Amino acid sequence: MAEVRPIRWRKGRLELLDQRKLPAREVVVELGGARDTARAIRSMVVRGAPAIGVTAAFGLVLASRRFRSGRLAEDFEKAAAILEAARPTAVNLHWAIVRLRETMQAQPDGVSVRALTRALETEAKRIMADDIDVNRRLGAFGAKVVGRGGDVITHCNAGALATAGYGTAVGVIRSAWESGRRFRVFAGETRPFLQGARLTAWELKKLRIPVTLMTDGMTGHLLKSGRVGSVVVGTDRTAANGDVANKIGTYQIAVLADRHRVPFYVAAPTSSIDLDCANGDGIPIEERDPTEVTHIGGRRIAAEGVDVFNPAFDVTPAELVTGIITEEGLVRGDYRKGLARAVKKAEARRRRAG
Ligand code: MRU
């Protein structure tokens, strides 16, 4: 089966699978520079925390071709600021930019624009390749705990489309399925942007993993039925204490899972762990355009002029999280210690790999 690849870097060109059009049409768009890339991130051509990090890295590579020699650092910061402002919640965007900034700072004095672009390109390609590798490792750890004791609930899309490939929460589901465990996945539709209905259901069908779509309000009823053995979701930013920001609607699933004693897992590559953020109160929550709520598929469904509440994410407190699955293993209990250790191990692994 052909792997879903939302981001392609082909001969110095950045191509994105336009996720707004899925599953009806598979349309590829090409981007030209930082502004173009930021627009694509903001308008959800590409979405999902790791995927926007990888995209931003390549956006910087594109922008770097127009940097002025002698003003490289200044031009880098201008492009980085445009990209970082695209979406505030997912820390991966910031994380990828920091990695590229470190690459720039490691260049010799007087480096040419061309040589800098080459170095940034190498790093962006590494970020993309690492992401797939990280997701596979994370998936293997998650497969030990997810898919046991019944069906699985997931929310939003933390699949291949939300990453460079393979997925985080969907990667765990995939890994559990490949290890021989049998279950059905209940995918919440994820109003208002419908990532569950449009993207997760599409990916799981492609993978031939049994999937049932439900609206978000059906979660409590399903959990009460006793057929669900675990919940697994992704994250846009996990704070140092284990508070988890993820797609709006995640918090209520965690509360309901706790009520029904169903384990609630978060698939969190270390690129989405923010140790500088002490707890969930420090995580900026993006508010999106009201038309995402008042319209479906371009058609108005609500009264003209109605006030709208449209936060794109919510924060699930650490106490409701059974375990956080990273590429360095499953973290439970003392999240402050466990997450810091996982981040340190991941950084050491990257340094060893050069
Ligand atoms: O608004 P989106 O579609 O970018 O939100 C995506 C999510 O909330 C995902 O669950 C999260 O980014 C993890 S993706 C591996």
Ligand 1 within 6 A of CB of 53: no
**Same structural domain, 207 and 344:** yes
Q: Does residue 26 fall inside a structural domain?
A: yes
> 233-253 b/e with 16+ CB inside 10 Å = b?
bbbbbbbbbbbbbbbbbbbbb
Q: Write down which residue in 101, 136, 171 finishes a domain.
A: 136
Ligand 1 within 6 A of CB of 59: no
Domain total in the chain: 2
Of 50, 138, 162, 161, nearest to 96 by C-alpha is: 50
Q: What is the pLDDT of residue 192?
A: 98
Structural tokens at position 301: 């469904």
Task: Report pLDDT digits (tens) over 82-129.
Answer: 999 999 999 999 999 999 999 999 999 999 999 999 999 999 999 999
Chain Cα centroid distance, residue 167 = 8
Q: Does residue 181 fall inside a structural domain?
A: yes
- Give 45 Cα–ligand 1 centroid separation in angstroms: 13
Q: Pick the catalytic residue: 236, 243, 274, 314?
A: 236
**Same structural domain, 194 and 298:** yes
3-state secondary structure (DSSP) of residue 30:
strand
**Same structural domain, 126 and 149:** no
Ligand 1 within 6 A of CB of 247: yes
pTM of the model: 0.97
**Same structural domain, 252 and 231:** yes
Which structural domain, as residue segments, surrounds residue 22?
A: 7-136
- Give 47 Cα–ligand 1 centroid separation in angstroms: 6
**What's the CATH number where 283 sits?**
3.40.50.10470
Mean pLDDT of the chain: 97
Task: Report pLDDT digits (tens) over 184-226.
Answer: 999 999 999 999 999 999 999 999 999 999 999 999 999 999 9
User: Nearest 5 degrees, angle CA 168-CA 223-CA 231?
Assistant: 15
Contact 56, 97 (CB under 8 A): yes
**Same structural domain, 116 and 142:** no
**What's the CATH number where 40 sits?**
1.20.120.420
Ligand 1 within 6 A of CB of 248: no
**Same structural domain, 132 and 204:** no
Ligand 1 within 6 A of CB of 236: yes
For the chain, give the percent of residues with pLDDT over 70.
100
How far apart are the C-alpha atoms of 236 and 268, rounded to whole Å? 8
**Same structural domain, 259 and 113:** no
Structural tokens at position 191: 């109003």
In ligand 1, which atom is closest to the CA atom of 312? 1
DSSP-derived letter for residue 287 is B
- Give 87 Cα–ligand 1 centroid separation in angstroms: 11
Q: What is the pLDDT of residue 300?
A: 98
3-state secondary structure (DSSP) of residue 88:
coil
- Give 144 Cα–ligand 1 centroid separation in angstroms: 23
Active site residue 236: yes
Contact 102, 298 (CB under 8 A): no
**Same structural domain, 165 and 270:** yes
3-state secondary structure (DSSP) of residue 237:
strand
Task: Report pLDDT digits (tens) over 239-293.
Answer: 999 999 999 999 999 999 999 999 999 999 999 999 999 999 999 999 999 999 9
Ligand 1 within 6 A of CB of 48: yes
In ligand 1, which atom is closest to the CA atom of 155? 10
